[in-house]
A and B are shown apart, each in its own frame.
Chain A
């Protein structure tokens, strides 16, 4: 799952630096914004089949690779 998330974020944020620091706050680093969040949610829907609305997730739940992985795990995504 982690690799899929990193791949996803590389597409959404249009950068290859995601893998290096998986705790970096993507919003603070200017890599994610509201459009980025929407794109990420759509990617999650496509790849993991988990359909989410913007108000279903809090920014703090998807602000880094590690947090996204933990969030997805809490929603029952395991692969």
Chain B
């Protein structure tokens, strides 16, 4: 009976052309408003929102994934597998550290994404569901921190909530379990809710609206999609700027929505963007662009790789260790986006940029002399902006069409 209703509803949505993507349509925003009102009431009355949060998250994932045919059965299977792996590993880890078991669990926790990515190479979307790339980060991170001994207690309910938490379901920001767990366990006073969580949540949602529904929409409609075809130098340049601004306002808009919605549910999901086009160099850019992703790669890949290389003394100086880790990290980041040539190139490009800009800043005497000069800093921002935009041009795949 329920299945039949869902089936009819799926058909209805498919035929109606209704857009139910996360923060992607006015219909979605309307539903969002409806589900957030009870959360605000709970917040005002100082009641815990986590039970309501789980309920709404389950409902929203049904809406976002099941009704829109985005791979609900794989989502359910993913949750079951990852939660089982994490609980089991946490149990085993209490008895002691074992490298082989650790790597086995690490690989297993990544396997849904690996299976999906490799099957997509073969042109199928086996194991694909909305949000798989982002949810995998949450799982891998937990296995690593359980191994470190940083996460010692894992509750089934809280773990489930961490994974299904709907505001960040489809594209992040990627939260951390310890932080999330602390947030949902603490009691928020009315004063705090009314002076911090609610107004800041609403402010971020309004920013999301402005970024995604006004700026990204305008850029896409009146700039990006009206660039004439044909790869002349001017068209390419024009596309590069248009695409970079579109990508930023669309993704930063989505992220603002996600963070704002989280706040209203009493969770301070970390911000994802901080004026990335005003970065002074490439290293600075990666602390301002898609922050939750670059921090993830920084913490769980780059830093650990660098430490291991330095421990083994593979290189004489620490900068060589860091450069090697930077290139491997950025290449992996590129690969995470997909196996298309332009994603791999994008990763390599940023890896090399990190190395070259570090060499420039450490070795070029004029840089040291000028670095506090305002005009020089403006020039740095200008140059970094263009280097970054060229990266997005590669990323867009436009040059390969």
Main SS class of interface, B = helix
Please tell me if B310 contacts chain A, counting CB pairs below 8 Å: yes
Docked Cα-Cα span, A35 to B298, in Å, equals: 10
Question: Which residue of A35, A53, A56 contacts B318 across the interface (Cβ within 8 Å)?
Answer: A35
State which residues 279-311 of B face A: CB under 8 Å.
283, 298-300, 302-304, 306-307, 310-311
Which of A50-79 touch B at CB < 8 Å? 53-56
A42 touches B307 (CB 8 A): yes
| CB–CB A35/B322 < 8 A | yes
Which residues from A are CB-within-8-Å of B298? 34, 54
A2–B318 CA distance with the chains assembled, in angstroms:
24
- Which listed residue (B144, B145, B310) contacts A38, Cβ 8 A? B310
How close is B292's CB to chain A, nearest CB, in angstroms? 14
Chain B positions within 8 Å of A22 at CB level: none
Q: Are B307 and A54 in contact (CB under 8 A)?
A: yes
Q: Is B125 on the interface with A (CB-CB < 8 A)?
A: no
Size range of the interface on A?
10 to 19
Q: How far is the CB of A39 from chain B (nearest CB, A)?
A: 6
Interchain CB contact under 8 A, A55 and B283: no
- Contact indicator A54/B318 (Cβ below 8 Å): no
- Please give, as numbers and ranges, the residues of chain A lying within 8 Å of B144 by CB-CB distance: 55
Which residue of A35, A53, A55, A56 contacts B306 across the interface (Cβ within 8 Å)? A35
Q: Does B196 lie at the interface of the complex (its beta carbon under 8 Å from any beta carbon of A)?
A: no
Does A33 belong to the interface (CB within 8 Å)?
yes
Q: How far is the CA of A74 from the CA of B303 in the complex (A)?
A: 23
Least CB distance from B105 to A in Å reads: 16
Majority secondary structure, A binding face: helix
CB-based contact A42/B150 at 8 Å = no
A55 to B150, CA, bound (A): 8
- Does the CB pair B303–A39 fall under 8 Å? no
On whether the beta carbons of B148 and A38 are closer than 8 Å, the reply is no
Report if A41 contacts B (CB, 8 A). Answer: yes
CB-CB < 8 A to A54: which residues of B? 298-299, 303-304, 307
Hey, what's the 0/1 contact readout for B68-81 against A, CB within 8 Å counting as 1? 00000000000000
Q: For A37, what are the chain B residues with a Cβ–Cβ distance below 8 Å?
A: 303
The docked-state distance in angstroms from the alpha carbon of A39 to that of B318 is: 8
A56 to B322, CA, bound (A): 20
Contacts of B303 in A (CB 8 A): 34, 37-38, 54
For residue B153, CB closer than 8 A to chain A, the reply is no
Tell me if B319 and A35 are in contact (CB < 8 A).
yes
In the complex, the chain B residue whose C-beta lies closest to that of A33 is B283
**With known contacts A34-B302, A38-B310, A42-B310, A53–B150 Cβ distance under 8 A:** yes
The answer on a CB contact under 8 Å between B306 and A38 is yes
Nearest chain A CB to B131's CB is how many angstroms away?
23
Considering the chains assembled together, what is the distance between the CA atoms of A53 and B306 in angstroms?
11
In the assembly, what is the distance between CA of A68 and CA of B304, in Å? 20
**CB neighbours of A41 from chain B (8 A):** 307
Q: How far is the CA of A56 from the CA of B148 in the complex (A)?
A: 8
Determine whether the beta carbon of B311 is less than 8 Å from that of A55.
no
Task: Tell me if B307 and A38 are in contact (CB < 8 A).
Answer: yes
CB of A42 within 8 A of CB of B311, answer yes
CB distance from B313 to the nearest CB of A (A): 11
Contacts of B307 in A (CB 8 A): 38, 41-42, 54
Given the interface pairs A35-B319, A39-B318, the reply to whether A53 lies near B311 with Cβ below 8 Å is no
Name the A residues within 8 Å of B310 (CB-CB). 38-39, 42
The 5 closest A-B pairs by CB, nearest first: A54-B303, A35-B322, A53-B148, A38-B306, A55-B299
Given A42-B307, A55-B300, 8 more pairs with CB closer than 8 A: A35-B318, A35-B319, A38-B307, A38-B322, A39-B318, A54-B298, A54-B303, A56-B150
9 A-B residue pairings within 8 Å (CB atoms): A34-B303, A38-B307, A38-B310, A42-B307, A42-B310, A53-B150, A55-B144, A55-B299, A55-B300
